[in-house]
Amino acid sequence: MRRLALTLAATVAVIGLSACGKSGGSSGSETAAAPEAAPAAAPEPTDAEKQALLAALPAPYNTGDLAHGKQVFAVCKSCHTIVPGGANMTGPNLYGMFGRKPGMAEGYKYSEVVKAATFTWDAEHLDQWLTSPKTFMPGTKMSFVGVKDAKDRVDLIAYLKVETGYKPQ
Ligand code: HEC
């Protein structure tokens, strides 16, 4: 957790340097060890950086339509935030989810089945989860029917990767 926060903060800081005039993020690197503090201080990636991240995703996500993914995400928004340090609502904040185990959002009370899951969130697992959460993980308390269209899921997953601080390996 701590290492992830540091890595994220460092990477975002590096991206920030090449970006617009937004600065002031680097002074926060000491406090970056605190999971709540670090993401809040992270500068937003620019649109150009988001496009670069998108292009670096493995196929088919590199051809994802971010604008459409954002539209698909509208159905998630009543329950989830995706910004750094965003609130847990009915569902957990999703920032930083890729590359970590299910059930890790700070301060969120997950169902037993999600807490017990041992896989790591990646595009493939998320694709199955989003197709039908209750089929993929019987017992989950995510009351959501699923995103049935495969292309909608590609665009949504690409959007989530770009927006939630995913870093290519
Ligand atoms: C009606 C509310 C609701 C909607 C709509 C919803 N979710 Fe969820 N989501 C939840 C809840 C509740 C959980 C916690 C599940 C559990 O603990 O069993 C969750 C968990 C998750 C997780 C696991 C997070 C983790 O930290 O392991 C992901 C990923 C996720 N949702 C993505 C989405 C996406 C993407 C959408 C939109 C397509 C969506 N959800 C729509 C309520 C919702």
pLDDT digits (tens, 9 = 90+) for 88-110: 999 999 999 999 999 999 999 99
Tell me which of 11, 29, 44 is where a domain ends: 44
Residue 105 lies in a domain: yes
Mean pLDDT of the chain: 84
Residue 58 lies in a domain: yes
User: Residue 27: its pLDDT value, please?
Assistant: 45
Q: What is the mean pLDDT of residues 115-120?
A: 98
Please answer whether residues 103 and 117 qualify as being in contact, where contact means their C-beta atoms are separated by less than 8 angstroms.
Answer: yes
Do 115 and 136 sit in the same domain of this protein?
yes
C-beta of 83 in contact with ligand 1 (< 6 A): no
Domains contained in the chain, number: 2
How far is 143 from 62, CA to CA, in rounded Å?
29
pTM, rounded to two decimals: 0.80
Domain span at residue 131 reads 45-163
Do 54 and 106 sit in the same domain of this protein?
yes
**CATH classification of the domain holding 97:** 1.10.760.10
Q: pLDDT by residue (tens digit) across 58-75?
A: 999 999 999 999 999 999
**Smallest CA separation from ligand 1 atom 2, residue:** 79
Do 135 and 62 sit in the same domain of this protein?
yes
Do 31 and 102 sit in the same domain of this protein?
no
Q: pLDDT by residue (tens digit) across 12-48?
A: 444 444 444 444 444 444 444 555 555 555 678 899 9
How far is 4 from 12, CA to CA, in rounded Å?
12
Residue 168 lies in a domain: no
Q: What is the mean pLDDT of residues 1-18?
A: 46
Q: How far is the CA of 17 from the centre of ligand 1 (A)?
A: 33
